Chain A
């Protein structure tokens, strides 16, 4: 589809409300952002960006396979440390690689809703990451989407391509400075996992209390490939709605989603769906959500199109305060015989027996609560390199997670 045809579709969807989440009036956010200059060395990143990145799990220390940093609409730094892995900003990549037109807006429809349309109607900014066939990276690619200004609208469009037999581990920290005011983040991510390739895609949201967030993600996994997607939100946000889709298109493809969410306030509608359309594919979606006053809708959806597939959804939630809401929606949609789909869901409080057990060892009720909540959120995420696993564990430690008492 030509760019002008895409723009046309986007324009038609400019007022199209999203199916899920609270509606946002886009016009209340500034449409244009000031340009921020490029830097040659990562160390030149402003202190505020470095600090915010760190609090979203992206540390400049330690090994990395590559970097991408974006401030508002400006890609300020990017680069690959590994031969066979390309890291570019999407606008340059579109100019350089004509084949990218076959991937751009192919998984996420540009006219899905007014948020995708808004991203589509403006010059693209975001990352393009591609692993050439057989390239296996061990260290994470560290990326950070930083929204600096007040009342800004940040639009991001990322494309990831893992060619046959390659392996990529991407962590994306989405973040604002600690004092940030109002802001809107719109992020489109399209991830292509070719035959036998493996991708882990971890997104850590660390926004301010007045920020609204609408990520739009989709991935396509070919035969023998796998995708692991992790979504972590531990700090307050005004509203967040995301429902990424993974499509398992080739035999034996695997998807696994993990969602870790801690909401003191705000309105959150988060989940994911996997479409299993090839035999011997399997998918798992695990979420652990905690509310201490926030409203969380927690969705996990599996669509089984063919026999001989397996899918499991696990939505567990803890409400630690009198107020707060968790609405767990596991959905299983089987289209034929011979498939195997299951779910378990629970919404409740901390087990009194577990609290007493820890108190018998001398922990105060507050300490015991915090140990239990931290353990609850410490999901064993499969397929992550040890470094990244450690970073994710550090994120849950960074947060001062307390009980509701």
Chain B
């Protein structure tokens, strides 16, 4: 997968099953955000080889909004400000049938209903705004790009709760139909949500996949160099 002339992702082979939530770790600039953006369908992110399949459909060449309508959702790490568009109106755009009042209340975001989307929001407010939109959109596959960065502990709980709703953590594992991928650096958010599997990405390639707990402990002990050298105890 390339952006312009530059190849960013190399031979990524990853699959998230129905009802599963995966974590994606990796050093800054390794391609994690690029991977999510490619799946979301940002036009300048060009897949040179291989396919992206969702619900059995090859979506490699679908446009962004077609993917969204098929059930792919994304929480951006640094979303733009949309001038003149209120949070409440954004919710209606995501899904006209959404119960906006309830969603805003759940995310403790009611006071922001009449604010312009992301305008003057703090780090934590931006993340809650993303969660509000996704709860309205109700995607079948949700991608979360560092939903916990710049967020205080109190808000991390709120966001963790939202992610659990999005990924149906209240249902029995075998009954879940919604899936997700989360990028996180520190793993705090993982104290508030369950993940089934973790992947480590280094220089545009997935180098390791396995138990989130084991992998996170290894990274905490030896850093990503440890992953590169494959230092996990067997």
Q: Which residues of A contact B (CB under 8 A)?
A: 351, 353-354, 356-365, 368, 371-372, 374-378
**A397 to nearest B CB, angstroms?**
12
**B108 to nearest A CB, angstroms?**
21
Confirm or deny: B80 has a beta carbon within 8 angstroms of a beta carbon on chain A: yes
Confirm or deny: B222 has a beta carbon within 8 angstroms of a beta carbon on chain A: no
Q: Which of B43, B80, B83, B116 contacts A357 (CB 8 A)?
A: B80
Q: Chain A residues with Cβ under 8 A from B80's Cβ?
A: 351, 353-354, 357
**B103 to nearest A CB, angstroms?**
14
In the complex, which residues 183-217 of chain B have their Cβ closer than 8 Å to any Cβ of chain A?
none
**A300 to nearest B CB, angstroms?**
19
Confirm or deny: B55 has a beta carbon within 8 angstroms of a beta carbon on chain A: no
Q: Which of B42, B43, B93, B116 contacts A361 (CB 8 A)?
A: B93
Confirm or deny: B69 has a beta carbon within 8 angstroms of a beta carbon on chain A: yes
Q: Chain B residues with Cβ under 8 A from A360's Cβ?
A: 40, 64-65, 68, 73-74, 76
In the complex, which residues 80-99 of chain B have their Cβ closer than 8 Å to any Cβ of chain A?
80, 82-85, 90, 93-94
Confirm or deny: B179 has a beta carbon within 8 angstroms of a beta carbon on chain A: no
Q: Is the CB of A359 within 8 A of B82?
A: no
Q: Which residue of B lies closest to A366 (CB)?
A: B65
In the complex, which residues 52-87 of chain B have their Cβ closer than 8 Å to any Cβ of chain A?
63-65, 68-69, 73-74, 76, 79-80, 82-85
Q: Is the CB of A361 within 8 A of B82?
A: no
Q: Is the CB of B65 within 8 A of A363?
A: yes
Q: Provided the pairs A356-B42, A356-B64, A371-B93 are in contact, do residues A361 and B137 lie with their beta carbons within 8 angstroms?
A: yes
Q: Chain B residues with Cβ under 8 A from A358's Cβ?
A: 82, 93
**A168 to nearest B CB, angstroms?**
28
Q: Provided the pairs A357-B76, A360-B74, A362-B94 are in contact, do residues A378 and B84 lie with their beta carbons within 8 angstroms?
A: yes
Q: Chain A residues with Cβ under 8 A from B94's Cβ?
A: 361-362
Q: Is the CB of B84 within 8 A of A362?
A: no
Q: Chain A residues with Cβ under 8 A from B74's Cβ?
A: 360
Q: Chain B residues with Cβ under 8 A from A365's Cβ?
A: 63, 65
Give Cα A378 to B93, complex, Å: 17
Known: A357-B80, A360-B68, A378-B84. 18 other contacts (CB 8 A): A353-B80, A356-B42, A356-B43, A358-B93, A359-B63, A360-B40, A360-B65, A361-B133, A362-B69, A365-B63, A371-B85, A371-B93, A372-B83, A372-B85, A375-B84, A376-B83, A376-B84, A378-B83
Q: Chain B residues with Cβ under 8 A from A361's Cβ?
A: 68, 90, 93-94, 133, 137
Q: Chain A residues with Cβ under 8 A from B42's Cβ?
A: 356
Q: Is the CB of A359 within 8 A of B85?
A: no
Q: Is the CB of A372 within 8 A of B68?
A: no
Q: Is the CB of B93 within 8 A of A375?
A: no
Q: Which of B43, B79, B93, B116 contacts A363 (CB 8 A)?
A: B93
Give me the 10 closest cross-chain CB pairs, A-B, nearest first. Answer: A375-B84, A378-B84, A362-B68, A359-B64, A359-B65, A375-B85, A353-B80, A361-B94, A354-B80, A375-B83
Q: Provided the pairs A356-B42, A357-B76, A371-B93 are in contact, do residues A362 and B82 lie with their beta carbons within 8 angstroms?
A: no
- Interchain Cβ contacts under 8 Å between A and B, 24 examples: A351-B80, A354-B80, A356-B64, A357-B76, A357-B79, A358-B82, A360-B64, A360-B65, A360-B76, A361-B68, A361-B90, A361-B94, A361-B137, A362-B65, A362-B68, A362-B69, A364-B65, A365-B63, A371-B85, A372-B83, A375-B84, A376-B84, A377-B84, A378-B83
Q: Is the CB of A375 within 8 A of B82?
A: yes
**A318 to nearest B CB, angstroms?**
11
**B28 to nearest A CB, angstroms?**
20
**B41 to nearest A CB, angstroms?**
8
Q: Which of B43, B116, B137 contacts A362 (CB 8 A)?
A: B137
Q: Which of A357, A364, A377 contacts B82 (CB 8 A)?
A: A357
Q: Chain A residues with Cβ under 8 A from B93's Cβ?
A: 358, 361-363, 371
Give Cα A357 to B145, complex, Å: 14
Q: Chain B residues with Cβ under 8 A from A356's Cβ?
A: 42-43, 64
Q: Which residue of B lies closest to A379 (CB)?
A: B84
Q: Chain B residues with Cβ under 8 A from A364's Cβ?
A: 65
In the complex, which residues 146-169 of chain B have their Cβ closer than 8 Å to any Cβ of chain A?
none
Q: Chain B residues with Cβ under 8 A from A359's Cβ?
A: 63-65, 68
**A234 to nearest B CB, angstroms?**
15
Q: Chain B residues with Cβ under 8 A from A372's Cβ?
A: 82-83, 85
Q: Which residue of A lies closest to B69 (CB)?
A: A362
Give Cα A357 to B79, complex, Å: 7
Give Cα A277 to B79, complex, Å: 44
**A180 to nearest B CB, angstroms?**
31
**B118 to nearest A CB, angstroms?**
9
Give Cα A361 to B132, complex, Å: 12
**B140 to nearest A CB, angstroms?**
13
Q: Chain A residues with Cβ under 8 A from B82's Cβ?
A: 354, 357-358, 371-372, 375
Give Cα A364 to B137, complex, Å: 15
Q: Which residue of A lies closest to B89 (CB)?
A: A371
Q: Which residue of A lies closest to B70 (CB)?
A: A362
Give Cα A246 to B136, complex, Å: 47
**B159 to nearest A CB, angstroms?**
18
Give Cα A150 to B65, complex, Å: 47
Give Cα A35 to B79, complex, Å: 59
Q: Chain A residues with Cβ under 8 A from B137's Cβ?
A: 361-362
Looking at A351, A359, A361, A377, the one whose CB has the most chain B CB atoms below 10 A away is: A361
**A62 to nearest B CB, angstroms?**
22
Looking at B84, B85, B90, B133, the one whose CB has the most chain A CB atoms below 10 A away is: B84
Give Cα A359 to B90, complex, Å: 12
Give Cα A205 to B116, complex, Å: 28
Give Cα A345 to B83, complex, Å: 16
Q: Chain B residues with Cβ under 8 A from A368's Cβ?
A: 65
Q: Is the CB of B84 within 8 A of A374?
A: yes
